[in-house]
């Protein structure tokens, strides 16, 4: 994963509901609300309202930390001052890793 595009939820929501601080955890399963502070996030994004506009550029991520990703967990810690947090959209940009099929490997071995 190279970058992420987050967009505001603008369907009648107050702009103060837009996230301002999001923690991203890579390949960490079973992180709940009660224990996210005990685990170091892979990256923390500090967002402005401008970064959440549809016309804004995607946010670059620390590429070396986002290789061989099996799952992502996002925790919105804070917003722009609203009582609730809302996010309109999320797009991830990157390329999947191609891995060999073990069934193909076994077939070529049988021919020897």
Characterise 65 by phi-psi region: left (phi > 0), alpha (psi -120 to 50), beta (else). alpha
Mean pLDDT of 60-89: 93
> How many CA atoms does the CB half-sphere of 100 hold within 13 Å?
7
Mean pLDDT of 96-107: 69
CB atoms within 10 A of CB 22: 23
pTM of the model: 0.81
Tell me the domains of the chain and their CATH numbers: 3-110 (2.60.120.470)
Q: Write the pLDDT tens digit of every residue in 12-51.
A: 778 899 999 999 999 998 888 888 889 999 999 999 999 9
């Amino acid at each position: 994963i190279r970058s992420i595009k987050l967009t505001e939820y603008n369907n009648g929501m107050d702009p103060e509901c837009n996230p301002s601080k999001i923690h991203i955890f890579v390949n960490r399963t079973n992180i709940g609300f009660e224990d996210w502070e005990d685990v170091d996030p892979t990256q923390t994004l500090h967002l402005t309202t401008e970064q959440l506009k549809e016309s804004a550029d995607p946010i670059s991520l620390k590429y070396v930390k986002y290789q061989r990703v099996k799952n992502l967990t996002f925790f919105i810690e804070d917003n722009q001052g609203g009582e609730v947090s809302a996010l309109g959209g999320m797009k991830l940009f990157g390329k999947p890793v191609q891995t060999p099929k073990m069934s193909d490997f076994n077939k070529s071995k049988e021919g020897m």
